[in-house]
């Protein structure tokens, strides 16, 4: 990938992350930490491609670990975030 | 080519969904939708990756996804809400480990294209490995597997030397024309040790900040490896999380009045410091406590981690409903670091059914304590210690606190006469308008409920 182009992506993504979070109320900080933890679970995709290109047993073994950990990050991150957010309810009108 | 286009387009859509998902989480109303969108993005990105041309090892891939996904899914479903911080820590550590492992595969293949790629792969590996071992230590500490904080002699010097050596070895890998397996192995071992050694001396009270920091680290590592693999979706997701996590870490550290460098390098003394507190603790019975609140016009409840550990949040909500039926205005005041993570207490109260519009944070509520008839402090300690405002020699001087001491009356539910998590004496407990209700939160509030009911007949 073009290095300069990647640098622009880095920069814009950093500002995006900062802006998106700066308006989050304190009550959502824990779910948000968990939610952002889920989002970097996309590392799973990188792990899959690394494993897909692996040739030697060593590469396969490390690639397997990458996919295993990435899948755990994504699945676990989703479940706990969803569980927490499901509990936030406004006061029910009686 | 059509396949390639489909994959790229799907990654693009996934990246949009991730950002929209995080944005959705900025309001309690849309938060649930937010995580579902991000989840759709994740499934989409994962499924199309199988279509990538020229890939092998599909069987291994499916086994790894099924195994890692299933174990994490089940453990995530079962974990208690009070144990959430260490669960987030361990999932985060796995993400960091995955990023480091991706770099390791690339090193093993020995096909790095250019210095910039090698540099970012190495940086990602370093950050990912530190995040992995550090998060595992954080998990072990919060889970109670590892009880004590270990401090090496000259801890800070050891940290710095170790970090420098690791960076030097990493630099050697980047400069070397070919990949030297020995250097790579040494590099990964050093990085893992570094993460462990940095995290070991950090006390439990500071752990949320550290977990958040490692969360940001993992994001960066994922972003860097995304560049190495040439997948913009990974770069975007990783860097967005890296930036967001850094901001979140700063917010947390600020709430605790502890610069991040202090948390990492100068752990708080376990006990002592501060002026001696004079006076005595005055006890109150459940019946009097119930009467004080039943005939109050405004009660502010300050819940702390002690309440959550006792599992008393449901009882507290039951009591709140009873008091409201009797015409008392009841609200909850939450310190930014109540619980073990910022917002953790909100989650625990939400679990008990407390609507979020009854919950106020520090800036919103601090002006209201003076008008409150009763401040009910349940299992909280340092976050209501007035020494943070008044006593310059106190280790927590300058930390923003909830001004519970300004209420007309203060009732503190407490297990015994000991000091809190940080071991600092609390002047609030000795004030003239403070009464202590001894007992576990579960049992004490249960008794108060009985007496409130008796008064309401």
The 10s digit of each residue's pLDDT in B30-50 is: 888 999 999 999 999 999 999
pLDDT digits (tens, 9 = 90+) for B433-452: 899 998 888 889 999 999 99
Contacts with A72 from chain B: Cβ below 8 Å: 68-69, 71-72, 91, 94
Average pLDDT over residues B315-322: 93
Nearest CA-CA distance, residue B29 and chain A, Å: 8
Q: A39 and B336: CB-CB below 8 Å? A: no
**Residue A78: closest C-alpha in chain B:** B39
> Is B382 one of the annotated active-site residues of the chain?
yes
Q: A75 and B31: CB-CB below 8 Å? A: no
Return the ∠ at Cα B21 (arms to B16 and B22), rounded to 5°.
105
Interface-testing mutation among A41, A63, A83, with chain B (most B C-beta atoms within 10 A): A41
Contacts with B359 from chain A: Cβ below 8 Å: 27
Of A16-30, B32-46, B414-428, give the lowest mean pLDDT range. B414-428
B331 beta partners: B300
B29 Cα distance to chain centroid: 22
Interface-testing mutation among B88, B97, B321, with chain A (most A C-beta atoms within 10 A): B88
Contacts with A50 from chain B: Cβ below 8 Å: 101-102, 105-106, 229
In this prediction the pTM is 0.82
pLDDT digits (tens, 9 = 90+) for B58-97: 999 999 999 999 999 999 999 988 888 889 999 999 999 9
B374 beta partners: B299, B409
Which of B382, B391, B405, B432 is an active site residue? B382
**Residue A6: closest C-alpha in chain B:** B227
- pLDDT, mean over chain A: 88
Q: B240 and A16: CB-CB below 8 Å? A: yes
Nearest CA-CA distance, residue B438 and chain A, Å: 29
**Cα separation values, B271 from B114, B201, B332, B352, Å:** 52, 15, 29, 33
User: ipTM of the assembly?
Assistant: 0.93
Contacts with A55 from chain B: Cβ below 8 Å: 56, 109
Band (A94; pLDDT cuts 50, 70, 90): very low
Contacts with A91 from chain B: Cβ below 8 Å: 355, 357-358
Q: A52 and B347: CB-CB below 8 Å? A: no
Of B374, B385, B382, the closest CA to residue B319 belongs to B374
**Residue B27: closest C-alpha in chain A:** A24
Neighbours of A55 (CB within 10 A): 12
Per-residue DSSP letter, A68: H
**Residue B56: closest C-alpha in chain A:** A52
């Amino acid at each position: 990938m073009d290095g300069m182009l990647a640098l622009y992506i880095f920069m814009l993504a950093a500002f995006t992350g900062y802006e998106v979070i700066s308006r989050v109320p304190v009550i959502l900080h824990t779910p948000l930490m968990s939610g952002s933890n889920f989002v970097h679970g996309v590392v799973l995709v990188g792990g899959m491609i690394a494993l897909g290109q692996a040739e030697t047993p060593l590469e396969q073994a490390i690639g397997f670990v990458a996919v295993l950990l990435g899948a755990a990050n994504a699945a676990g991150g989703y479940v706990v975030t969803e569980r927490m957010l499901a509990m936030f309810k406004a006061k029910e009108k009686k | 080519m059509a396949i390639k286009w489909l994959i790229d387009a799907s990654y693009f859509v996934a990246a949009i969904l991730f950002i929209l998902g995080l944005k959705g989480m900025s309001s309690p109303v849309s938060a649930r939708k937010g995580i579902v969108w991000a989840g759709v993005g994740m499934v989409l990105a994962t499924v199309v990756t199988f279509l990538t041309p020229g890939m092998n090892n599909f069987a291994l891939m499916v086994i790894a996804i099924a195994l890692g996904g299933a174990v994490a899914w089940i453990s995530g479903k079962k974990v208690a809400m009070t144990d959430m911080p260490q669960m987030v820590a361990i999932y985060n550590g796995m993400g960091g480990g995955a990023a480091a492992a991706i770099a390791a595969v690339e090193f093993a293949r020995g096909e790095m294209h250019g210095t910039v790629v090698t540099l970012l792969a190495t940086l990602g590996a370093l950050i990912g490995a530190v995040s992995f071992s550090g998060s595992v230590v954080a998990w072990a500490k919060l889970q109670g597997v590892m009880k004590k904080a270990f401090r090496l002699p000259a801890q800070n010097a050891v940290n710095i030397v170790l970090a420098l050596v690791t960076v030097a070895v990493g630099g050697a890998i980047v400069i070397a024309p070919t990949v030297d397996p020995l250097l790579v192995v040494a590099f990964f071992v050093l990085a893992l040790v570094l993460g462990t050694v940095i995290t070991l001396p950090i006390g439990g009270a500071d752990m949320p900040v550290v977990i958040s920091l490692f969360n940001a680290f993992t994001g960066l590592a994922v972003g860097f490896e995304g560049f190495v693999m040439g997948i913009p979706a990974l770069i975007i997701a990783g860097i967005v999380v890296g930036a967001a996590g850094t901001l979140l870490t700063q917010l947390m550290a600020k709430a605790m009045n502890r610069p991040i460098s202090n948390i990492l390098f100068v752990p708080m003394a376990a006990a002592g410091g501060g002026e001696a507190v004079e006076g005595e603790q005055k006890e109150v019975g459940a019946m009097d406590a119930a009467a004080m609140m039943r005939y109050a016009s405004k009660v502010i409840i300050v819940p702390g981690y002690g309440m959550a550990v006792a599992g008393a949040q449901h009882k507290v909500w039951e009591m709140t409903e009873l008091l409201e039926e009797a015409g008392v205005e009841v609200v909850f005041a939450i310190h930014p670091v109540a619980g073990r993570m910022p917002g953790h207490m909100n989650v625990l109260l939400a679990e008990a059914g407390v609507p979020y519009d009854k919950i106020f944070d520090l800036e919103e509520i601090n002006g209201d304590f003076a008008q409150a008839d009763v401040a009910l402090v349940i299992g909280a300690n340092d976050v209501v210690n007035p020494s943070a405002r008044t006593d310059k020699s106190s280790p927590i001087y300058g930390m923003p606190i909830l001004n519970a001491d300004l209420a007309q009356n203060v009732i503190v539910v407490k297990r015994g006469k000991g000091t809190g998590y940080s071991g600092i004496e609390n002047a609030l407990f000795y004030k003239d308008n403070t009464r202590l209700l001894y007992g576990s939160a579960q049992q004490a509030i249960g008794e108060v409920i009985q007496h409130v009911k008796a008064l309401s007949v």
